[in-house]
Amino acid sequence: MHAVEMAEDVSDISQMTFEAALGALEDVVRRLESGDVPLDASIDLYERGEALRKHCQARLDAAQARIEKIVAGPDGSISGTAPFDADG
């Protein structure tokens, strides 16, 4: 995969929902496990799978941070919700 194709591929992944990225990752795993993919294509698939895995993990981490922000009010009780932001 060329650098331009890789950049476009990562850009496409960054726009995916968690569910879409997880489905795409499952498809990559199925294709790799089938053993029917040539070596060069397997390497490209593995790289795409790793990018999908990172995207899914980032989405999960953000969801966990939002949940923690909801649960942890100043006195430890639920005080409502607040949007999660990396700066806050």
Boundaries of every domain in the chain: 3-71
Asked if 39 and 32 touch (Cβ cutoff 8 Å), the reply is: no
Q: What pTM value is reported for the model?
A: 0.68
18-56 pLDDT per residue, tens: 999 999 999 999 999 999 999 999 999 999 999 999 999
Instruction: Give the C-alpha separation, 20 to 84, whole Å.
Output: 22
CATH number for the region 3-71 comes to 1.10.287
